[in-house]
Structure formats: C-alpha cells, structure tokens
A and B are shown apart, each in its own frame.
Chain A
Amino acid sequence: MNKLISLIKVLFFSFLINLYMPSAIASEGTYISLAPAMVDVNTENASTRPTLIDVRLGYEFDEHQLELGIMSSLSDDSLNQLIVDVPSVNSIFYRYLPYDDTSIKINLILGVSQVEVESSYPNVPVSTETFDSVSFGIGFEEAFTSIPQLKLKLDILRLYHGDNMNINLLSLGVRYAF
C-alpha cells in the first residue's frame, strides 16, 4: 500500500517538475481552490459528518489536472455521546475532463488519500486512526462569466473505501486558475 502511494507521489512530482517547463497549450497553468467540505464517516449502523477546510494546489494541462489536497478540521460532529473529528486529510488527485465543450465541466477524479479520524466516547480512551486508500469521485465546475479564471466547483469523493466503513467527501467552493 505504502509503495503504491510512493509510486503515485513520484508520478505527481514528475508532473510538478513539468509545471515550470514552457508549453504552447493555452489551458496550461497552476491553480488553487478553496472550499468548505463535509466528510461523511459512514458505517453500516450510523454515520457522522465533521466539516473541513479543503485547500487544493494543482496544475492543469489540456484535459488533465494534477492537484495536492490539504484539508484540516473545521468542526467535529457528534452522534449521541460519540464525537468524531477529522483533523487532517492529505490527498493527491488526478482529474480528467472528458467533455471540454460544455459550460459545466465534469471531472473524473482518481487519487490517493490519507484520512485522520479522531473519536471519543464515554469510558473509551480518545483514539486517532489514519486511513490510507485510493480515492475516486466526480467533480463539477463552472466558470464565472465576469471572471473566467474563477470557477465554482463541487467535488463528490470517496476518500476511503473500506470493508466495513467508508469515508466520503462533499466539497463546494471556488477554484482560481492563474
């Protein structure tokens, strides 16, 4: 698992090196996005939904985007006496835009994520678990007509796909392409 994550990290940094290489493609460039996000820690019997601040730094060329996601806790969520927080999520995403001729851009998202989940419950010591997993999902994006570099974006992602538990992310924010 860690080796695979390392492999993807190598691929990602290879693309980052390319950031500074001159290119003739018009849509090439770096971008940043910012969004409040809700994480759904979903088990068979119940779920909790802490919130996060979702910051992405990325590079786009043609119909491809590579981005680094850094998310940190905004607020925890409780289910009766159970308090669940997600202190951090670190992700690397590859986004593919299959349809470029529509006003709302659809992104297919694939990557890896490391999700930290903290929980506390009466008579149980506070515990923190880190979940590493492939992440996948779909994103939607539309540019503001007055500021074409600024786009409204919505990401729906499965950050962690487990045997008995899944962690999903819903993120709604803006992206600015430099």
Chain B
Amino acid sequence: MLFKNIFSLLIINIFILLSACGDAEKEANLVNLHTAASQDIISINFPADTTESILSINSEFNFKLQGIKSNNIDTVIITNDVIWSLSENALSSIDQKGHLVASSTAELITLTVQFGHLTETLELKISDAKFDEVIALNNEVFNIDMCLSKDLKPVARYIDNDGFDEIRPVDSNIINTITWLIRNQEDNSTSQRAYINTIANQASLQSLAAGNIIIQANAPSVYTGTVKTSGDFNQSVSNAMNSIKVCNSNDTDLNSCNVTSANIEKDKSISVISVGNYQASDGSNFNKNITQNSKWGIDNTINASIAFGSDLQSLTITGKTESTSALLSVACGNITQSISGIDITKGVTLNNSVSCDANINCLDKTSNITIDKLSVSSFTVRANDIDLVDNTSQAFNSRPDEISLQVIANYTNSTSAVITIDDELIYNITLGDETVIEDKLNSKGVYTVLGRGTAKIELDYRTEEFTVLLEIP
C-alpha cells in the first residue's frame, strides 16, 4: 500500500512538472505556418493604394495588409491574426487592427507587421509640416457614372518648417475641415449633380446626374491661418447606365431581382433598393445598389410614405391607409421634377412621382404598392363575460336565456379592436343550430338559448378563425 501511494505521488509530481513544460520557441515555426496556411497566404505587402509613408502629427491612419494567395494571382486584405508593431521608443501608437495614431511631434519610425511566418516593414515619417491647401481632388484621374459613388483621396500641399513643400494625401484631421463646393460647368450654378460626403475620415463623391462639374475644396490653411479655396477640379459624370429597377433590400442576386409590385399591410413597412445596371469600360455589365443616389417619389402620401434608411442604402415604404394603393417611382439622372430645395446629401424623396426629363441622361422605373388590411394574430373572445379558449368547450353553471359574444381582434401591429359587429366578422353556427341556440334577430353576436346541449360557432375574420364551443346545461 505504501509503495502504491509513493508511486502515485511520484507519477503525479512528474506529470505536474512536465505538463508545465511547453517550448514556445520550437512551436513558433509550426504555429506560424499553420496561421499562414489557414488563409493560403504565401507573401504579404502593404497595398500601394491604401498605404501612406508620410503622416501628419496627431493624425490617424488605418493601415491594411494585403496577402498574396498561393496561386500568386489572388490577393486578399488580411484582417485576422495580424501583429502590428512600431519601432521601439516610437511616440506614435498602433493597435492590432492597423489603426495608427501619430505622435504630437515629428519622428521617423518603422512599422512592422507580422502574419504567420511572414513579416513586412514600412519606414514611416510622422511629419509636422503644416497643411496649406488641397491641390488635387484625387491622387489619380478617375471616371464616375451617374448614381455611383467613388472614394476620394484628395492631395494637399503641406509646408514644413524649412518652407519646403510636402505633397501628399490629406490627413485625417484636415479631411474633416474641408467644405466641398460643386458647380455645373456650363453656367457655374450650384450643382445638384453630385456632392462629396466625408464619413470616418473618408471623402466620397456621390453622383446623382450626368454632366460636367467643377469641384473646389474650401479649408482653413494651418500654414497661413486663413481659409483657402483650391483651384477648380474639373470632373465629368458620365452616363453608362443600361437600366434601373427596384429590388427588395434583402435580395442578394442583383441580376435577377425585380419588384414591379408589392403588398404592405397598413402600418407595416418593406425595405427596397434601386439597382442600376451599368456597362463597364471593358464592355461587361454590372449591377450596383444605387439607392442613395437615386431620386424617389410616391404619388400618394396619404396611402403610403417613403423614407431613407439611416445609411441611405435602402428605402422604407410604410403602408398608411388600408385597402388603397400608391405608385412608387425611382429615377437616376435628370428628372422633370425640381429638387432645387432639397438637401441632396440626405437623399432625394419627393411627395409625388418622379420621372425622367425627356429621357436624356435619365432612367426611371415604377412599382405598384398595395396597402392591405392589417392581419390578425389572435382573437380574444368572451361569452357573457366569460373568457373563451379557441376550440375548447366552456360549460355554463346554469342555462342563460341569451349568449352575447364579444370578439376582440389582436392585430399584427400589436393593436386591438372590438370587432363584434364588424361586417367582416362572419359567425356561423355549425352545431346545435335551432336546437341549442339560434341567432337573435338584428343582434350580431347574440344568441337565444333554446335548450340543453353543445353549441359550436365558427368565427372568421380576415382569414383568421376561432371556434366557440359552449356546453348549455
């Protein structure tokens, strides 16, 4: 017994000692290879179009890491299992999502990123050069079609302490101080063809109609302390759109979806999007959700209303008057109706139909909306103030002279209404008619008791049914 205990103790001690031993250094190679292999990545780099090597002090920047797949063709932005770090003693900081917060003083640092066994570095200059003005709308020339969006990388001149220019993309602080001015080229009038919005430090050009525009950036120059307006940036919005249609917002196949008519119950909503079909520069066609940059209209706001979703990526239609209809219309381009008083940055909705202006640089579509009656989720039924359960027998203690039913409809929008004498409610005695009970003349839902037995009354309202079962003593 003593040997057994000593032996057990020895084994347990060995187990505890050995189980604490792991060799992380030896494991590193295999662990790293599994990490890279799990995403089939054989090399990594910083993608040129989303990487900056000079950043302003106190600015923020989101770095991205691109992986090249083992076929040496496909690339993917790697977001998981990436280790981001900056050189030792760096005053700037970076989190494990690649979000860099630049220091408040100038410095030269090295950004290192590791994914599995792969490592990439980037020399970064955190610059205290001061922003002067925007000198280009984007870092490269681009084309945009009407009703599409294009992320911009405006380029600015920064001036360092020695008076030298630093030409680089506008930093995260300055981008939010820019007011964008857009005019029509032909008459210099304020343009409703496009606007630029900036969300999460990303400026984006939103085009609503084809035509030539002039864009200017108005921003305070940190270098001079005055507000500076940039030169004119000429931009054309082209029309390579083939068609427009309405789809449900949850449609994933934009090629085959199409909503030409829809039914909505009163007080209920459906969510739709507009889809534009475009011809790409290589001749192929593609579909795009263009809800945000489309112009929407509803011909009868008493019957139904429309409103953009919070992200402008869908349109909500709400039924207001039951048993009616409304015509939903959507257009991309120059419409007949005026939108001069509308803030186009919040989306264009009109309380009347929208239609194309002589079909020049414009496409439109309509969809019939039928507003149905509210459906019923359940009934609350009482017989002489006794609550009844559907298709469950209810016995009376004594024979009443009359039975009065009270019927309450509980609607799917969580409201209720007494419908006892509603024309849509149909009563039908299916058992005990003229022997146990009979209809009371001119009193809907009221029955005269004739004798002992079981009475069964079927209730039918808007396709919902309820069976009343009564035991008369």
Q: Which residues does A use to contact B, with CB under 8 Å? A: 1, 4, 7-8, 41, 43-48, 79-82, 84, 94, 110, 112, 117, 119, 121-124, 127, 129-134, 136, 161-165
Contact = CB atoms under 8 A, between A and B. Distances in A.
B163 interface: no
Contacts of A136: 15, 19
A134 to B, nearest CB: 3
Interface of B: 11, 14-15, 17-19, 21-24, 26-31, 33-38, 40, 42-43, 70, 81, 117
B14 A4 contact: yes
Given A43-B34, A46-B38, A133 B27 contact: no
Find the residue from A117, A133, A163 having the highest chain B CB count within 10 A.
A163
A127 B32 CA distance: 13
A47 B34 contact: yes
Contacts of A122: 42, 70
Contact of B24 (A45, A133, A161, A164): A164
Contact of A4 (B17, B29, B33, B37): B17
A44 B81 CA distance: 10
Contacts of A162: 22-24, 27
In the A-B complex, the 6 residue pairs with the smallest Cβ-Cβ separation, listed nearest first, are A134-B18, A82-B37, A46-B38, A163-B22, A162-B22, A80-B40
A110 B31 contact: no
A4 B17 CA distance: 9
Given A4-B17, A46-B38, A134-B15, A124 B33 contact: yes
Contacts of B19: 134, 136, 161
Majority SS of interface residues in chain A?
strand
Given A45-B38, A164-B24, A165-B27, A133 B18 contact: yes
Contacts of B37: 46, 79-82, 121
25 contacts: A4-B14, A7-B14, A8-B14, A43-B30, A44-B31, A45-B34, A45-B38, A46-B38, A79-B37, A79-B38, A80-B70, A81-B40, A82-B37, A94-B11, A110-B14, A119-B30, A119-B33, A121-B33, A122-B42, A124-B117, A130-B26, A133-B21, A164-B27, A164-B31, A165-B27
A163 B17 contact: no
B94 to A, nearest CB: 22
A165 B24 CA distance: 8
Contacts of B29: 119, 127, 129
Contacts of A41: 30, 34
Contacts of B31: 43-45, 164-165
A161 B144 CA distance: 57
B370 to A, nearest CB: 52
Nearest to A127: B29
B81 A45 contact: yes
Given A163-B27, A165-B30, A110 B40 contact: no
A110 B17 CA distance: 13
A46 B18 contact: no
A131 B28 CA distance: 12
Given A81-B40, A119-B29, A164-B27, 4 more contacts: A110-B15, A133-B22, A162-B24, A165-B27
A131 B23 contact: yes
Given A4-B14, A4-B18, A121-B37, A129 B24 contact: no
A24 to B, nearest CB: 17
A163 B30 contact: no
A156 B124 CA distance: 51
A161 B36 CA distance: 22
Contact of B34 (A82, A123, A161): A82
Contacts of A45: 31, 34-35, 38, 81
A7 B31 CA distance: 30
A134 B11 CA distance: 11
Nearest to B71: A81
Contacts of B42: 81, 121-123
B351 to A, nearest CB: 55
Nearest to A129: B26
B56 to A, nearest CB: 36
Nearest to A94: B11
A35 B42 CA distance: 36
A80 B71 CA distance: 11
Contacts of A124: 33, 117
Find the residue from B26, B30, B36 having the highest chain A CB count within 10 A.
B30
A112 B35 contact: no
A123 B27 contact: no
B50 to A, nearest CB: 24
A125 to B, nearest CB: 10
A110 B27 contact: no
A110 B10 CA distance: 12
A45 B34 CA distance: 7
